[in-house]
Structure 1
């Protein structure tokens, strides 16, 4: 404020005989820069109807466009209602807020999903909520984003839902697919019932995911929780994730190779449960995954606890897992894993006739290679499991410098599955390997140190119990 104007204001205020303290408070307020309030765009102002039937994609897109044209702001899904919608895209400088009591529900009509989640590879699902090449994006609120997953499934089986057949395009929608987004924040919101991957972040940088809930059906295959794909500088904390497939997965898909390594990842204070692997690195890794810290987490009722599953030419290095409780158990062969609480493997990917086989190997190749897994630490981890720790590679140079320090393995049967096997799928060699159950099974690896560890066998010992520690080399 200009000096002359301040002087005039003082004279006028003094005429009202205000105290010196009051004058100072008023002057302090007058000299503060005025902060412009965030612009708010309520989707109901653009025609959205919370009747659980009307597709509101056009109304939501109009609200987002208005936000963009205003230079940014907050798009609100208001509480107390179910807003059905088809696909739409987020934009830069926006907060997308699903208020408490509100549900955003995916349209069950498969024909509205037309954009592939994997570019020119249409065989692995479509995009529902998308966005590409953005900055400054937030997804917040205490409401629910519901992928309506069961609507896209076939018959319910004992261990899963049947996947519906398709010719070229798998119409199942991924809930959230964001590509090349910088400064991304996802907080507090609940995601439910994804038909495919839930939160897929591709080439994103500077990401915070905090306090979210992912509650997927444990019978829906491919219903991953969070997939970090070629993404960097990511912090995941205070999340509760229940998913049929991997709860949190780090990878480098071949479709997005220009985004480089997946690196500098922190996961802390999370609760996870999965029919496959609760926290996985791989199997898709055509680049590098490095500098990963996972701390203070609990994994319950999972087929596999923590898995490093290298199946491509990329490298996994410098990873620390610490202060973790893991409960794992057997499930059917539909799900990868055989109750291994900790799992480190490096095998070439299987060359099979599959819907996405042409996207699994380098261009023009019909067979792949596998890179190294090295410098991995497991520290202060308590495992309650039907199977033991498994470390295995196709050759001794592929797994190097692995430390197990303060790991407790409690072996006890909790199901009636036979046991006596480990799961190396998907690999060119034998997938399900029959072997005696050991607390630590170390096969074809270099510099694996077991320090300050304890193996305990419960009253219901594995039926095919072998040596407590088994090494092939």
Structure 2
């Protein structure tokens, strides 16, 4: 017993010694007021710049609110926001001058930025608040109007790290963003765990976590509410030198999104591969899981397993038509976007779409106003898609008209009318539906239809599909 106590004491002394050696830089000691009125950006930057020279912790103390304009984080520091403390974005649009997308200023500015940094951590149970509503126009029924601008969209992204290595974001409350919340570009070795990310569900473009050309990322145990996509994987053209987005795992997360809770694309000029989503819950979303390829990049080797997806319709402000699972491959629309010149390869006025292949869904329970939708511009674009133990229940729960699929942004028709079937396949090849079921709720409009509906499908394999047509007296279970 004495030996065990002695060993424990040695470990305790080691922890205390390590802790005392860690340098702590309290931002108030560098002049931060924390009165919620004074812009403390200069003081915060001084604390960060001092800390990066020695390594250590930049301490944001409670119970203060630190109003702040843009500042940059550095290598070898931990930004610790104490419980009860808050970093609040300055609502003055004029202080945001650095574009989140380099020479493309049309999609927001940077609030908290970092470039080519290593060994950086954000932690603590305090709050990083983007002050999002301050940058919005008038409030509508289910969204805010976006303020007009000519060249530069002044809305700030909360956190943008470009070229980061060994990045850790844990336990923090982060959100109320006017644009994207956590944008990691070209980052490697990233862990995001236990965060609460809450954006106003009426704020358009307020993505939760965007992984852009990033690799070896682990996201776990997070709760996310977003007025756009909750977790999105992409390869933006502005950062093409960083290459693929790959080796991504997402586990034990709960998400609510007004567009797509989990999205791959639509910006993808490279390759997105080796991705795993497991043990996740999606609630009250306009679209559950979406692979939305619109550029020349490839999406391959993606697994979704052990998930509950709950969706329903929202207005056309938001992308999606309540599809619990959605896979599409269409060329991007040309010239109809504020930043259209940044969407295509240099010198091109139109694009092409790459392949989506080797996509697996297993043990997924879906409840929504629409069914699963897989569609491409030609049947050589989507292949090897597997649905195993995927159950779909379709019921009409809102007054918004359905019987429509949303293919935006694409070079052909954006909204396509069609019957609502449990599984709807259009111009794809090598699809397997195994041990799946479809149920219909009590509210069945006339456009509710089949268990499986397929058009121009090359090699559809169905094994043990259960259910009946919405109106079995006049419809077939399977329509091919």
TM-score range (shorter-chain normalised) is over 0.9
Distance 1:447 1:127, change over 3 A: same
Q: Secondary structure at the match of 2:303?
A: strand
Counterparts of 1:28 and 1:167, CA distance in 2: 63
Which TM-score applies when normalising by structure 2? 0.92
- 1:416 is aligned to 2:403: no
Counterparts of 1:216 and 1:39, CA distance in 2: 33
- Out of 137, 145, 156, which is 2:139 matched to? 156
Q: Which residue of 2 aligns with 1:6?
A: none
Q: Secondary structure at the match of 1:308?
A: strand
Q: Which residue of 1 aligns with 2:192?
A: 209
Deviation at 1:467, TM superposition (A): 1.8
- 1:264 is aligned to 2:247: yes
- Out of 275, 282, 291, which is 2:265 matched to? 282
Q: Which residue of 2 aligns with 1:76?
A: 59
The answer on whether the counterparts of 1:247 and 1:273 sit within 8 Å (CA) in structure 2 is yes
Q: Secondary structure at the match of 2:439?
A: strand
Q: Deviations over 1:235-287 (max 9, x none)?
A: 00000000000000000000000000000000000000000000000000000
Counterparts of 1:347 and 1:32, CA distance in 2: 58
- 1:193 is aligned to 2:176: yes
The answer on whether the counterparts of 1:418 and 1:463 sit within 8 Å (CA) in structure 2 is no
- 1:117 is aligned to 2:100: yes
Counterparts of 1:463 and 1:303, CA distance in 2: 21
Q: Secondary structure at the match of 1:61?
A: helix
The answer on whether the counterparts of 2:158 and 2:175 sit within 8 Å (CA) in structure 1 is no
Deviation at 1:414, TM superposition (A): 1.2
Map 1:345-384 to 2 at 5 A. Answer: 345-384=328-367
Q: Which residue of 2 aligns with 1:60?
A: 44
The answer on whether the counterparts of 1:419 and 1:463 sit within 8 Å (CA) in structure 2 is no
- 1:224 is aligned to 2:207: yes
What root-mean-square deviation, in Å, do the aligned CA atoms of Structure 1 and Structure 2 show? 1.8
Counterparts of 2:321 and 2:210, CA distance in 1: 22
- Out of 183, 191, 215, which is 2:166 matched to? 183
- 1:244 is aligned to 2:206: no
The answer on whether the counterparts of 2:255 and 2:282 sit within 8 Å (CA) in structure 1 is yes
Which TM-score applies when normalising by structure 1? 0.93
- Out of 446, 449, 465, which is 2:432 matched to? 449
Q: Which residue of 2 aligns with 1:438?
A: 421
Q: Which residue of 2 aligns with 1:464?
A: 447
Distance 1:100 1:414, change over 3 A: same
Counterparts of 2:103 and 2:446, CA distance in 1: 47
Distance 1:40 1:28, change over 3 A: closer
Q: Which moved more, 1:205-214 or 1:349-358?
A: 349-358
The answer on whether the counterparts of 1:420 and 1:463 sit within 8 Å (CA) in structure 2 is no
Counterparts of 1:162 and 1:32, CA distance in 2: 55
Distance 1:28 1:127, change over 3 A: closer
Q: Which residue of 2 aligns with 1:44?
A: 28
Q: Which residue of 1 aligns with 2:77?
A: 94
Counterparts of 1:201 and 1:220, CA distance in 2: 21
Q: Secondary structure at the match of 1:255?
A: helix
Q: Deviations over 1:379-431 (max 9, x none)?
A: 00000010000000000000000000000000111111111011000000100
Deviation at 1:322, TM superposition (A): 0.2
Distance 1:469 1:50, change over 3 A: same
Deviation at 1:203, TM superposition (A): 0.2
For structure 2, list consecutive stretches of 5 or more residues without a partner in the other structure. 457-480
- Out of 358, 381, 385, which is 1:398 matched to? 381
Deviation at 1:105, TM superposition (A): 0.3
For structure 1, list consecutive stretches of 5 or more residues without a partner in the other structure. 1-19
Q: Which residue of 1 aligns with 2:462?
A: none
Map 1:309-324 to 2 at 5 A. Answer: 309-324=292-307
The answer on whether the counterparts of 2:155 and 2:179 sit within 8 Å (CA) in structure 1 is yes
The answer on whether the counterparts of 2:246 and 2:274 sit within 8 Å (CA) in structure 1 is yes
Q: Secondary structure at the match of 2:320?
A: coil
Map 1:120-135 to 2 at 5 A. Answer: 120-135=103-118
Counterparts of 2:154 and 2:222, CA distance in 1: 28
Q: Deviations over 1:148-203 (max 9, x none)?
A: 00100000011210000111100000000001110000000011210000000000
